[in-house]
Amino acid sequence: MQKFKRVLVANRGEIAIRVFRACRELGIRSVAIYSEEDKNSLFRTLADESYQIGKGKSPIDAYLSIGEIIELAKAKNVPLTGGSMLKFSETIREMKEKVQAMGEDFVSGSLSAPLNMENPYSGFFFYSSHLCEMTMEVFGYHPKAVYAQRHNGGSVAAIVDYGDFCVTNHYNDGAYLYAGSIFGKKEQLVREVSLDGCGEKECDAFVEMLRTGKMAHSYEELAAPVFFLNAVKRSYESGKPEEIRWP
């Protein structure tokens, strides 16, 4: 059974520090990525190896250099860990299983999450990345296009086109609530997305990855929400439907 000898953490700050400490306790080398602005940050110094990404770019654009991150991970033969812990929610798992169980009876669905356009670090990307990852975990990792519009002040609504069906994303400004619904021909499922235990399940998946040598999500699945979210942002800025630009 192959086990990972190194782990690249596509994250920063306190979360990255916790992962690096866990790696050290397990005898696994840790790899950090950092932007120019983070070159003196604590998380970088605690990693066994660190590599700058997005040279010449702003902090946000640097960490969105997903192609560069994946190439680095593959070159160093390390797995990626990170992303939204909400994809480990029991509610998201329940919704995913419901979509699969419905089969051809599945019609559409929706998911909603908070939005904070005024967040000083990443604006639109602060909470909305959670919604993109929940959507892909439930409905699939290859949507084709999105059409997003601003409404009710700062909120954003997006129609996500999967080709055979569409789902709706609601980015709600000022409302801290995660919720979802599944609609079939004969039944429906409506749930508030529970955050209970998400962090623990994410840690369990990380430890399992280290033990078995198998990533919970592929490189492509970890990268997919970035391209999805970029299309959402382009669409609400242009007011037109936007295709998701896959690499």
140: pLDDT strictly greater than 90: yes
pLDDT at 61: 81
pLDDT above 90 covers a percentage of the chain that reads 32
Using pLDDT thresholds of 50, 70 and 90, give the confidence band for residue 1.
very low
Cβ atoms of 130 and 178 closer than 8 Å: yes
Backbone angles phi, psi at 141, to 5 degrees: -95, 10
Using pLDDT thresholds of 50, 70 and 90, give the confidence band for residue 124.
low
183: pLDDT strictly greater than 70: yes
Average pLDDT, the chain: 86
In the chain, the amino acid numbered 222 is L
Query: Residues with Cβ < 8 Å from 79, sequence gap 6 or more?
Result: 4, 7, 8, 73, 209, 215
Mean pLDDT for the stretch of residues 146-156:
81
Mean pLDDT for the stretch of residues 4-14:
79
Using pLDDT thresholds of 50, 70 and 90, give the confidence band for residue 85.
confident
Residues pairing with 146 in the sheet: 160, 242
Taking every pair of Cα atoms in the chain, the longest distance, rounded to a whole number of angstroms, is 56
Query: pTM (2 decimals)?
Result: 0.77
Residues pairing with 91 in the sheet: none
Mean pLDDT for the stretch of residues 9-19:
82
Using pLDDT thresholds of 50, 70 and 90, give the confidence band for residue 152.
low
81: pLDDT strictly greater than 80: no
pLDDT at 120: 60
Burial string for 68-84 (b: 16+ CB within 10 Å, else e) reads bbbebbeeeebbbbbbb
95: pLDDT strictly greater than 90: yes
Comparison of pLDDT for 70 and 179, the residue scoring more: 179
Beta strand pairing status for 155-161 and 242-243?
unpaired
pLDDT at 27: 86
Q: Report d(CA 133, CA 143) in Å as an integer.
A: 12
Q: In 3D, which of 106, 136, 118 has the Cα closest to residue 232? A: 136
